[in-house]
Amino acid sequence: MNQRTARKAARRSVGSVRRTCAPWAEPGARPLVEFCSVTKAYGEVTAVDRLSLSIYPKEFFALLGPSGCGKTTLMRMLAGFEAPTSGDILLDGVDVTAMPPHRRPTNMMFQSYALFPHMSVWDNIAFGLKQEGMARPDIKARVEEMLALVRLEALARRRPDQLSGGQRQRVALARSLAKRPKVLLLDEPLGALDRKLREATQFELMDLQADLGLTFLMVTHDQDEAMTMADRIAVMDHGRIVQVAPPEEIYEQPANRYVAEFVGDVTVAEGTVTGIAGDIVRIEAAHFGTLEIDEEEGRARMDAPALVALRPEKLNIGHDEPPQTVNKVRGEIWDIAYLGDFTMMQVKVGGDDGPLVKAAIANRSRRMERPFAWDDIVWLWWDVEAGVLIDP
């Protein structure tokens, strides 16, 4: 019994990360940004559909979704470049819905960086401060502070076309931070960088956000970027928010099939609930046989259809049949993709018309005793904690 209580406590914070900062969960927290039933329609097309969302101070918030899901429109409405068709946008308690962009206390880092080509790095960073009518010595001090922050002191006199991609990105960042915006908007901030640089920059951005205590709102289609950097992620689809949660929860407890399939690899088994015993739910699924998963009580109803999401890294694969009676399936290897750190297998289960199940094995040693090959008959099995019930 003691063990079960401990397990339940662990369940409450899904995944392996414990958050020190979670302003959205604090009682009495006042949101910094509020979208209140915001709709944006372009003629027949609805880009954002009656969407409500609150973002809290000091959050690193990511809007994640495929192109055309409305995430960029949502951000541009906060910046003031688009006016909502209906609904209100509040910033720090003030209704900014009709406020023109140049009056809003938000700043944006553009996807293309939008650096002014005819101005030096210094003038680019000073541009916003000059608009404020800030005194000359203050501008100088602030620009130098920003240049130091992004480590570009030596390049202050350069023009944007004389900079590398990474340097341009840092100028764009410095320019948008110079005015100390209440919210910094990042539109695909790392999209134009190559992979190595992107990874390094991700952590720099996170450190910067934590050090400055600013609120960041990021738009991205790259799930890795969102997972790495964001405190919370809103997954969007067709102008609506499907799930808002910290990255671990998005991954381990996706709200529905769309989220499960958009974030990471997943196999979804479709079946019917045949038994509920405490928090163990038993499901009969075509091609998969009997599945048992550990779920919160009340999540499942007897005889109801159920979807079980199985992440590849949570599946075991072997040539021999495992001893357990449930949560196992036999299949044939259809595809092997060696990816270095792990190998992704596609296993056809339940005959030729059965589904392909993805299973990943970590390559922990350089050799394997019985390596897998195409057409091998293998067994997949998993733990009662591996699967998760999701909505359709």
Partner 1 sequence: MRRFGPLHMTALAAGLAFLYLPMLILIAYSFNASRLVTVWGGFSTRWYASLLQNQPLLDAAWLSLQVAFVSATIATILALLAAVALVRYGRFRGRTLFSGMIGAPLIMPEVVTGLSLLLLFVALGLDRGFWTVTIAHVTLTMCFATVVIQSRLVAFDASLEEAAQDLGAPPWKAFLTVTLPILAPAVAAAWMLAFTLSLDDLVIASFTTGPSATTLPMRLYSAVRLGVTPEINAASTILIAFVAIVVVSASLVVKRELVTRP
Partner 2 sequence: MSAPPVAGERGRLRAGRVLVLALPYLWLAAFFLAPFAIVARMSLSDSARALPPYAPHWEGLSRLGAFLSALDFENYALLASDTLYLDAYLSSVRLAAFATLLALAVGFPLAYAMARAPRQWQPALLVAVILPFWTSFLIRIYAWIGILRPQGFLDAVAQGLGLTDAPLGIMNTDAAVLIGMVYSYLPFMVLPVYAALERIDRSLLEAAADLGSPPWKSFWTITVPLAAPGIVAGCLLVFIPAIGEFVIPDLLGGPDTLMIGKVLWTEFFSNRDWPLSSAVAVVLLAVLLLPVIVFQRALKAREGSR
User: Which residues between 155 and 194 bind partner 1 (CB under 8 A)?
Assistant: 159, 161-162, 175-176, 179
DSSP per position, 99-129: --GGGSSEEEE-TT----TTS-HHHHHHHHH
CB of 116 to partner 1, least distance (A): 6
Residue 120 half-sphere exposure, CB side, CA atoms within 13 Å? 11
- Residue 12 as a binder of partner 1 (CB under 8 A): the answer is no
3-state secondary structure of 262: helix
Would you tell me the crossing angle of helices 121-131 and 165-177 to the nearest 10 degrees?
Answer: 20
CB of 305 to partner 2, least distance (A): 44
3-state secondary structure of 277: strand
Query: Using an 8 Å Cβ cutoff, are 129 and 143 in contact?
Result: yes
Rounded CA separation 165/65 (Å): 25
Q: Which among partner 1, partner 2, none contacts residue 179 (Cβ within 5 to 8 A by kind)?
A: partner 1
Among 70, 84, 128, 331, binds partner 1 (CB under 8 A): 128
- Residue 107 as a binder of partner 1 (CB under 8 A): the answer is yes
User: Which residues between 65 and 104 bind partner 2 (CB under 8 A)?
Assistant: 92, 94-95, 98-100, 103
Q: Which among partner 2, partner 1, none contacts residue 131 (Cβ within 5 to 8 A by kind)?
A: partner 1
Stretch that binds partner 1, among 83-91, 154-162, 192-200, 318-326 (CB under 8 A): 154-162
List beta partners, residue 34.
54, 90
Residue 297 DSSP one-character state: T
Quick one: 171 or 388, whose CB is closer to partner 1?
171
List beta partners, residue 217.
61, 185
Query: Using an 8 Å Cβ cutoff, are 82 and 172 in contact?
Result: no
* Burial environment of residue 389 by CB neighbours within 10 A (0 to 12, 13 to 18, 19 or more): middle
Q: Which among partner 2, partner 1, none contacts residue 80 (Cβ within 5 to 8 A by kind)?
A: partner 1
User: Which residues between 104 and 163 bind partner 2 (CB under 8 A)?
Assistant: 105
Among 68, 87, 101, 354, binds partner 1 (CB under 8 A): 101
Q: Which among partner 2, partner 1, none contacts residue 94 (Cβ within 5 to 8 A by kind)?
A: partner 2
CB of 100 to partner 2, least distance (A): 6
Closest C-alpha among 316, 74, 4 to residue 217: 74
Query: Using an 8 Å Cβ cutoff, are 35 and 55 in contact?
Result: no
Quick one: 72 or 106, whose CB is closer to partner 2?
106
Quick one: 161 or 211, whose CB is closer to partner 1?
161
Quick one: 46 or 111, whose CB is closer to partner 1?
111
Residues 6 or more apart whose CB falls under 8 angstroms from that of 386 comprise: 293, 310, 311, 314, 315, 327
Q: Which among partner 2, partner 1, none contacts residue 98 (Cβ within 5 to 8 A by kind)?
A: partner 2
CB of 184 to partner 1, least distance (A): 11
Q: Which among partner 2, partner 1, none contacts residue 134 (Cβ within 5 to 8 A by kind)?
A: none
Closest C-alpha among 86, 85, 133, 79 to residue 104: 79
User: Amino acid letter at 298?
Assistant: G
- Residue 57 as a binder of partner 2 (CB under 8 A): the answer is no
Query: Using an 8 Å Cβ cutoff, are 223 and 254 in contact?
Result: no
Quick one: 123 or 265, whose CB is closer to partner 1?
123
CB of 186 to partner 2, least distance (A): 22
Phi and psi angles of residue 382, each rounded to the nearest 5 degrees, phi first:
-155, 170
- Residue 114 as a binder of partner 1 (CB under 8 A): the answer is yes
Residues 6 or more apart whose CB falls under 8 angstroms from that of 131 comprise: 102
Among 116, 135, 165, 275, binds partner 1 (CB under 8 A): 116
Residues that bind partner 1 (CB under 8 A): 79-81, 100-104, 106-108, 110-112, 114-118, 127-128, 131-132, 159, 161-162, 175-176, 179
Residues that bind partner 2 (CB under 8 A): 92, 94-95, 98-100, 103, 105
